Amino acid sequence: MHPNSQSENATRIAPHLRVSAENKTDQYPPIEAENKLDVDLLRKTFDGTQVETRDRLRELFSLPEMAQYPFSDRENERKTVLNWCEVMAREGIGAKLFPDGYAGDQDLASFFASFEMLAYHNLSLTIKFGVQYGLFGGSVMNLGTEKHHKKVLEKCNSMELPGCFAMTEIGHGSNVRQIETTATYNHETRSFAIHSPSWSAGKIYIGNAARDGEMATVFAQLHINGTCKGVHAFIVDIRDKEKNLLPGIHIDDNGQKIGLNGVDNGMIWFDQVSIDKDALLDRFATIDDNGVWSSPIEGDSKRFFTMLGTLVGGRMSVGGTAIKGAQKALAIATKYAHRRRQFGPEGKPETHIIQYPTHQKRIAEGIATTTALSFAIQDISDLHAKNKGQATRDIETTAAALKAYATWESMRILQNCREACGGEGYLWKNQIGEIKADLDIFTTFEGDNTVLMQLVAKGLFAKLKDRFQSGELSTSKIVLQRLKGKFRKIHIPGQRTNWHDLNIIGDLLLARENSITLSLAQRMRKERKQGRRSHDLMLEHQLELLDLAHAYAERISYQSILGRFLAFEKEHNNEELHALLKTMTISFGLERILRNPAWFFNNGHLNAENHPFAELTLKHTYAQISHHSHDIVEAYGIPESCMTAPIAKA
């Protein structure tokens, strides 16, 4: 028998079964909401302050050279992603990061928005773009001085000089202060020797390293006159223009990954690579003509964290990108749910799956969560842009919290979307699996989430003294008592209950964060006075620290969606969108309260009487959001060229 005879026979017997996404028809039309939303207005609300920037990216995604198609192999994928990145360079998207005078057109808020939008097109492009501009170009811009800017930024902007960001090492991922790579200064030759003293000192997962990169920002321990001055950054050539490795450079390809295979990640080792004295990125530390090292920042720790603080924009971008990836999956799952039918009354048409409460929970909860987190990341990005990219302690803490929380939540939402599409969601062509594979690593890079959340908790403790002095924490005790009084009277089902009060939900989330902060700080302070080491205390209370960081991320995200709703209510006379945004706000906040019932029960805010009404209110929000979910995902503004999933087109 011919190997293809079976399939040929099947085609011959039932040609009417051969259908494509273009000519497929549905026995039942998609479910329609009774009241159509103003999708254009909702899209502008979702886009925030960067409507024009986001619309510009939507236009670019439809260019012929940005067309998406199945990749035949990894090399083909890498070439295509590089070409896409060059289109972004040609169109001036990366220039939004760089200052005027270096072929730049600096607008940080626009750059952050552009970076997020790339996730709608392709996540490998997002990361390739982020490595080139945010990491390589951004490190030179933020850590270097004018001589470095002149040498690198214009070529980086045009993609003439593809670059890498070589910080992470095999043996020291998140613990950057203990990296092994050395940079030993020789004053006689006015040069540094960059060296990897061991296998574990190899720089790992370095984007652009395996194939395209010609220069790298390398983080190494600076040794001068027999003394180690800690971690500094250097620019190091790794390839010539013909892509040949330079002497002393050894690079291995990281190989096939779970996702993001359009990014050429590699491992780099250095064997006494000599670089010029001017290769030191010397904004925060320099070596003068006499070979004397100096820094305008006193203290190794302060200098180290100041240096890393200039790179905080990457965490905002990663969190925002993860949310956009989750929204794309939600759009696919939602469009499918409005057409797909399953089960139903005997003798009647089957029911659209979006009408099932279990399905509504999957879809609506994801919509509310991504809306809140998108607004929160927009808010901190806009604040960082207004601060001209200078990170304050509050910005660093918030960026770390939102990066971790957003990437964790995105992965959870993606799994719900996959399950919501059943076996169709498992097919690669329907995109959800690809998005899941690509976003998985987002929980690890730009800071491992668990480590970041511990840094968030430390940042909150650092503010504790200020909060006491301002009276914020003592005020929260009053809030706790006031809330207990508000919940003494329970309303019957069907009436407006206290769970619709946006201020009460916000007060509860704030009370939880404040209570955990104060309780944990008091316990750790007491144990510290008993002689316990700080390191031991951090280990012992690690899980509580993560709980605190989650409470903080949830509270600030709720504040952002509440603030956006209140602003919209003042600016626009649109009752349908007023109601929808309020419902989303309630849904996000109440979901977080019911995820942590033990704390709210123990502190008297949930009880056997009001808990069922909280659950009922949340269930109603899911139904209301689901009712308009098709319009909501249309308002994401994902171009048709990016939505290649057949189930999103059926």
DSSP string, 525-540: HHHHHTT--HHHHHHH
pLDDT, tens digit (0-9, with 9 covering 90-100), for 603-627: 888 888 888 889 999 999 999 999 9
Question: Can you tell me the distance from the alpha carbon of 360 to that of 233, in angstroms, rounded to the nearest whole number?
Answer: 50
Q: Is residue 595 part of a domain?
A: yes
Q: Which domain holds residue 322?
A: 313-649
What integer is the mean pLDDT of 5-15?
A: 41
Burial 1-22 (b: 16+ CB within 10 A, else e): eeeeeeeeeeeeeeeeeeeeee
User: Do 283 and 139 have their domain in common?
Assistant: no
Residue of 159 and 482 predicted with greater confidence = 159
User: Do 241 and 273 have their domain in common?
Assistant: yes
Beta strands in 1-97 (DSSP E): none
pLDDT confidence of residue 28? 45
- Report strand pairing: 182-186 vs 215-224: parallel
Helix axes 39-47, 51-60, angle to 10 degrees: 100
- CB proximity list for 618: less than 8 A, separation 6 or greater: 587, 590, 591, 594
Residue 553's Cβ-count burial label (10 Å; 0-12, 13-18, 19+) is buried
pLDDT confidence of residue 48? 95
User: Do 323 and 263 have their domain in common?
Assistant: no
**What percent of the chain has pLDDT above 90?**
69
pLDDT confidence of residue 16? 43
Q: Is residue 10 part of a domain?
A: no
Q: Is residue 2 part of a domain?
A: no
The CA-based angle 225-227-233, given to 5 degrees, is 95
Give the domain-ending residue among 158, 186, 214.
158
| CA pseudo-torsion sign 446, 447, 452, 458 | negative
CATH number, position 411: 1.20.140.10
User: Do 147 and 198 have their domain in common?
Assistant: no
* Dihedral-angle region of residue 431 (phi above 0 means left; psi in -120 to 50 means alpha; beta otherwise): left
Q: Is residue 11 part of a domain?
A: no
Question: Can you tell me the distance from the alpha carbon of 334 to that of 360, in angstroms, rounded to the nearest whole number?
Answer: 10
Is residue 543 classed as helix, strand or coil in its secondary structure? helix
User: Do 170 and 152 have their domain in common?
Assistant: no
**What end-to-end distance do the CA atoms of the chain give, in Å?**
36
Beta strands in 254-411 (DSSP E): 266-270, 273-276, 286-287, 293-294
**What percent of the chain has pLDDT above 70?**
89
- Compute φ and ψ for 212, nearest 5 degrees: -105, -25
User: Do 492 and 348 have their domain in common?
Assistant: yes
pLDDT, tens digit (0-9, with 9 covering 90-100), for 345-363: 888 888 888 989 999 999 9
* pLDDT exceeds cutoff 60 at 22: no
The length of the chain in residues reads: 650
Helix axes 357-386, 108-121, angle to 10 degrees: 150
pLDDT, tens digit (0-9, with 9 covering 90-100), for 450-465: 999 999 998 998 887 7
pLDDT confidence of residue 146? 94
Q: Is residue 44 part of a domain?
A: yes
Give the domain-ending residue among 237, 268, 302.
302
pLDDT confidence of residue 364? 97
* pLDDT exceeds cutoff 90 at 171: yes
Residue of 344 and 360 predicted with greater confidence = 360
HSE (side-chain half, CA atoms, 13 Å) at 229 = 22
Among the residue ranges 43-57, 204-218, 572-586, 606-620, the one predicted with the least confidence is 606-620
User: Do 175 and 154 have their domain in common?
Assistant: no
Average pLDDT, the chain: 88
CATH number, position 51: 1.10.540.10
User: Do 55 and 122 have their domain in common?
Assistant: yes
pLDDT confidence of residue 468? 66
DSSP string, 612-650: HHHHHHHHHHHHHHHHTHHHHHHTT---GGG---HHHH-
User: Do 489 and 594 have their domain in common?
Assistant: yes
Q: How many domains does the chain divide into? A: 3
User: Do 572 and 615 have their domain in common?
Assistant: yes
Give the domain-ending residue among 270, 302, 334.
302
User: Do 149 and 175 have their domain in common?
Assistant: no
Q: Is residue 9 part of a domain?
A: no
Among the residue ranges 98-102, 238-242, 615-619, the one predicted with the least confidence is 98-102
- Give yes or no for a contact between 643 and 58, defined as CB atoms under 8 angstroms apart: no
pLDDT confidence of residue 359? 93
CATH number, position 261: 2.40.110.10
* pLDDT exceeds cutoff 90 at 571: yes
User: Do 273 and 333 have their domain in common?
Assistant: no
Question: Can you tell me the distance from the alpha carbon of 227 to that of 290, in angstroms, rounded to the nearest whole number?
Answer: 16
Q: Is residue 5 part of a domain?
A: no
Question: Can you tell me the distance from the alpha carbon of 381 to that of 248, in angstroms, rounded to the nearest whole number?
Answer: 40
pLDDT confidence of residue 342? 85
Q: Is residue 358 part of a domain?
A: yes
pLDDT confidence of residue 497? 53
**Token pair for 545:** 């620290």
Residue 145's Cβ-count burial label (10 Å; 0-12, 13-18, 19+) is middle
- CB proximity list for 72: less than 8 A, separation 6 or greater: none
Query: Which candidate, 314, 325, 382, 363, places its Cα nearest to that of 560?
Result: 382
